[in-house]
Amino acid sequence: MHHWRWLWLSTLSLLLYAAAPARAQGEPDGPVQRNRGARDSARGPRGKAAPALRVEKVTASCYATVRAGGLSNAGFVVGRDSVLVIDCLDSADRARELFQAIAKVTDKPVRTVVHTHAHYDHTVGNQAMPKDIAIIASRAATDWLAKRLKKDRLLLGPSGGGIHMSLGIAGVRNPTRPITVPTELDLGGLKVRLLVAGDCHSAGDLVVYVASERVLFAGDLVWSGCHPNIASGSTFRWIGALAQIERLDIEKVVPGHGAPGVKELLRSQRHYLMNLRRLVKHLARKQMDPKKIVQGLEIPEPYREFAHAAWWPKNVGYVHQELMKNR
């Protein structure tokens, strides 16, 4: 019953954004698992240099900053008066590169940053921002990040040899403006809507919608050409949220990971999750051992070339747990 209640609330929230007055304003995903040296924040796997940011102009005012290999993306929207940044990447160095890229596009000041969710690969870079920049996230994401930072700083603090310093989370800031309802930002002649989708990929996911340019910054609700990380989410809610978002007038989508694309990315992500649930449910009905399900369910043909293939067996296990919990 709680699933249907959530869907009703999600539908209501997304539909009300157009009708009701908005409030105007003038790790890799997952746990930290290893100790990284201070240089590692600027380097990729096996010590290779991390992929540089590639700025892609999506529309006249909307830009995506994309990294190869399915690493976390960011984006920004340029208004007449100011710039809105969507997500801050996974390190202070990457965030500085992001701000340098913005400065090459416009001389307008960055006044606000929005976190689509609280996972470290989208938030750690916020420590490189000027202190007067406002940080917006959903209330649930704000609370999750605060608890996670407190836990990691406690477990990985000075008693652990100062590990938290090399992980780069010591200066990460909590959002300064948590929201729970559709919220409008005015960048000067350009209005942007923040829509809280709920607990889908993670706690309190939100999307950024630029209606006048038909652009959606989807955060990690959409992974383009990548297997998603669903470790801390609900595929049931995720599918429902995507179905509602698809009702918006959207032409371009900037995903949280992978290459930007058209509205079809929303449907493709929803179908990935639906197919995953269907395959796992089919094997679970045969009362197969969960370990055999995880080990035996091969990646379907449409997804075999996706990045992050290691997530597939993990996702199979997470979905099995979700289905067993909610049956």
Tokens 């992001």 -> residue: 98
Task: Decide if 315 is inside a domain.
Answer: no
Task: Decide if 241 is inside a domain.
Answer: no
Task: Decide if 277 is inside a domain.
Answer: no
Q: What is the mean pLDDT of residues 51-65?
A: 93
Domain membership of residue 151 as a residue range: 2-218+249-259
Assigned token pair, 206: 């939100």
Task: Decide if 233 is inside a domain.
Answer: no
Q: Which of 209, 287, 275, 220 is nearest to 248 (CA)?
A: 209
Query: The domain spanning residue 116 has which CATH number?
Result: 3.60.15.10
Task: Decide if 207 is inside a domain.
Answer: yes
Q: How confident is the model at residue 111 (pLDDT cuts 50, 70, 90)?
A: very high
Assigned token pair, 62: 């909307």
In tens, the pLDDT along 175-226 reads: 999 999 999 999 999 999 999 999 999 999 999 999 999 999 999 999 999 9
Domains identified in the chain, total number: 1
In tens, the pLDDT along 225-242 reads: 999 999 888 999 999 999
Task: Decide if 244 is inside a domain.
Answer: no
Task: Decide if 70 is inside a domain.
Answer: yes
In tens, the pLDDT along 271-294 reads: 999 999 999 998 888 777 778 888
For the ranges 118-132, 158-172, 280-294, the maximum mean pLDDT occurs at 118-132
**DSSP type of residue 124:** G
Q: Which of 276, 298, 294, 122 is nearest to 204 (CA)?
A: 122
> Measured between alpha carbons, how far is residue 181 from residues 129, 198, 239 in Å?
25, 11, 20
In tens, the pLDDT along 22-31 reads: 433 334 453 3
Does residue 41 surpass a pLDDT of 80? no
Task: Decide if 323 is inside a domain.
Answer: no
Q: What is the mean pLDDT of residues 44-64?
A: 78
